[in-house]
Each structure stands twice: as structure tokens, then as C-alpha cells.
Structure 1
Amino acid sequence: MKKYLLPSVKLTVLLLVLLAGIYPLFIAGIAKMAPGKGGGVTVTHNGKVVGYENIGQKFTDDKYFWSRPSAVDYNAAGSGGSNKAPGNPDYLKTVAERTDTFLAHNPDVKKADIPAELVTASASGLDPHLSPAAAYVQIARVAKARGMAPEKLKQLVDANTQAPMLGMFGPSTVNVLKLNVALDELK
């Protein structure tokens, strides 16, 4: 028994030191070299932090571009989706309510023209990005609420569109928080 117990204890201690000590310190060191120094990249407006670049926020005012819905009400501590199947009656009711709300605030948009991401939550519930199409479909509402020319808003969306990584990995995206901050800075 001693023949097996001592090597097991040694291996356990070694793995404990490696995996609970050295590895976390190594990862924390790498994080300190990343943007935001491991604490997240903040977005500021008028010298004040208004949010984090990679965590979605709720916008419901007509003068702002709306974010993708969140199943966790944008709570970063409780990230997650709804876990309801696409055919679940409760899920379908929620999507129908979101669609009706969107159409009530965007009367110029046809139901068929609403990008799915504007009425369905992401898997994390914290997605800060929209497709350019989801931003474009909101331009008429935001332009009317702010008394601005739609062309100027289209240029703003285009200026805040991030191309796919290396031009080919992933879709083009628009960070809604950064877009809304840029919108407020247009004054």
C-alpha cells in the first residue's frame, strides 16, 4: 500500500502546485499584457466610464440604437441563454412580444425585414455586437428621434462597423455601445 500511496500524494501535491498556483499566475500575467490589463476594456464618454466594450447593455430609448435582447437582462454575473427550444411556446411568445415592440417603435420596418438578432437573445445574453443590417434597420427611428438626416447615421454606422478578423474570419459587426457613444458625441 505504501508503494502506491506515496507516489499518489506526491503527484497530487505536484498537480496542486502546478494547476492551482503556477498556471493561474501565468494566465494572470498574460492577461496583464492584454488590452484593459485583464480588467476588461472600458468605454468612456465625457471622461466617465459608461460600460465595457465586450459586455452588452440595454438601450430602449428611441434616440439610441438598440442592442440584442438578453435572456439574463445583461447581468454579466449570470451570463447565459434562455435554454428554450426554438419551438417552445414560451420562447415563441417572447420572440413575438419583442417583434411587436420593435415594430411599434419602427413603423417603417416590415416584419420580414427585422434581423433575427434583434428579437432573439444570444447564447451568452451579453453580446455587445449587431450586424450592420441590424443597425441599418434602426436608422429611421433614431434619425426621427434625434432630428437627424438618415444619411449621416448610415455614415456613423459604417464608421463603427468592424470588419471580420483578417478580412475573412467571422462577420462584420457593430459594437452598439460604441455606436451610441459616437452618436452622443455628434452634437
Structure 2
Amino acid sequence: MVVNDNACFLTVRGALNCIASKLAPTGFSCELEDFEMSTLIRPALSLLVLMTLITGVAYPLVVTGVAQVAFPDQANGSLVRDAEGKVRGSSLIAQDFVGDAWFHPRPSAGAFATVSSSASNLSPSNPALATRVIDDATKLLVPGLGPVPLALLTTSGSGLDPHLPPAAIAYQLARVATARNLPVTTLQQLLDTHIEQPLVGPPVVNVLELNLALEKL
């Protein structure tokens, strides 16, 4: 078989014939069966359509359906509603509560904005981090209760962590009790009923849910 090296790669068949002829032993004649381009295009298009239907239509519908049936609350954003049924937020996202009458969550590097959710990315040696922590500790320090819990001074990776350790909530009991003219024991009981034990890790308290319960007192 004679193959023109200058033109053998102009077509798919030419390229295959060229490769076959160069790889074949001397004196061996290698002829490739003629074929149409449709024999390549048809299976490719069929596979494209099939995988689009499976991964782009069927799979999302199945996953969405299973989630709505098995985990409807989580699938719809873990929304938290008040007694009137009004959505007040999500149990997965922290909110900034201002004032002495509320339990405060841990600080947020992104100002509690979901769009700009992030950490500060400041290194331990960064003076800006030290300044911010010292300022927060000065504001939160309660005489006679010891140092401010670390969770009230450090931001989370997302800046939207809604949970705090029970000790960080207990540190705020006196302030909230004074602002609301409530006994500390009443707030302690409220705290005890909102302690959650995750599958892995220490107990935590959802600050948003705790403040919504506080609102009802």
C-alpha cells in the first residue's frame, strides 16, 4: 500500500492508514476497512444525550425527591421560624445580635454576610489579629468570671458558625439577666434545654435558637 505522507493526515481514514502502514512489517500489506464519519458521530451523540439525561435530569430529580421525603427540613435550608410561622433565619447560619439583652455568637470576619462568608486569614503573628482579640476581650470581660472563653474571641472558618460551647454562653448569663431583669437561674435552665450533643465532638448551643427562645420569656 502506498501512502502519501503529505496528505495522509487530511482525513481520519488517511491518518489511520498512514499509522498502520508505518507500523506494519516490511512487505506486509495492511488495508483498513472503509467507514463513514457517521459511524463515529452517531455513538458519540447518543452517549452525550444519554449521559445528559442521566446526570442532568434523572440524577438531580432523584436526589431532590429523596431529600424532600427523607430530610425535608435540611433540604429546605434548616429554616427557623417563630411562633407566628415567620422565618427568622437558618439554624446553620449565625446572626449578629447586638445589645446586652442577647446572647452574642462568636465574631465573624465577614460581618455575618453569607455572600462574603470567609475567615480573616490573619496569621497568629499579625498585629491586626492581636489588636482585634484584645479589643473584643476588653469589651466582653466580666470581672470575677475569669478570662473570656476562647470561642467568643475567635472567628470560625466560614464566619457563620451558629454554635458556641455551653461555657461561652454561661459566661454571658449575668449580662443578659441584668439587661432583661431575669434571674440567672432562669437563663441557666434555658441554656440547659438548648445544649446539643453532636455525633462527634463536644456539646454545643445554637445561639440563634437560644435567642429566639429567650425572646419568648
- TM-score, normalised with respect to structure 1: 0.82
Structure scoring higher RCO (CA < 8 A, sep ≥ 6) equals 1
CA contact (8 A) 1:108 1:140 kept: no
Map of 2:60 onto structure 1: 24
Shift of 1:89: 2.0
Q: How does 1:4-153 map to 2 (within 5 A)?
A: 12-33=48-69, 34-36=71-73, 38-47=75-84, 48-103=86-141, 106-110=142-146, 113-153=147-187
Select the residue among 184, 188, 191 that pairs with 1:154. Answer: 188
* Rg larger in structure: 2
AA at the equivalent of 2:87: V
Shift of 1:81: 1.4
Gaps (5+ residues) in structure 2?
A: 1-11, 13-36
- Give the length in aligned residue pairs: 179
Cα distance in 2, alignment partners of residues 127 and 185 from structure 1: 23
Q: Deviations over 1:114-171 (max 9, x none)?
A: 2211111111111111110111111111111111111221111011101232xxx222
Cα distance in 1, alignment partners of residues 99 and 193 from structure 2: 22
Cα distance in 1, alignment partners of residues 48 and 137 from structure 2: 55
Pick which of 43-52 and 137-146 moved more: 43-52
- TM-score, normalised with respect to structure 2: 0.72
Quote the sequence identity (%): 39
> RMSD of the TM alignment (CA)?
2.3
Map of 2:213 onto structure 1: 182
AA at the equivalent of 2:205: V
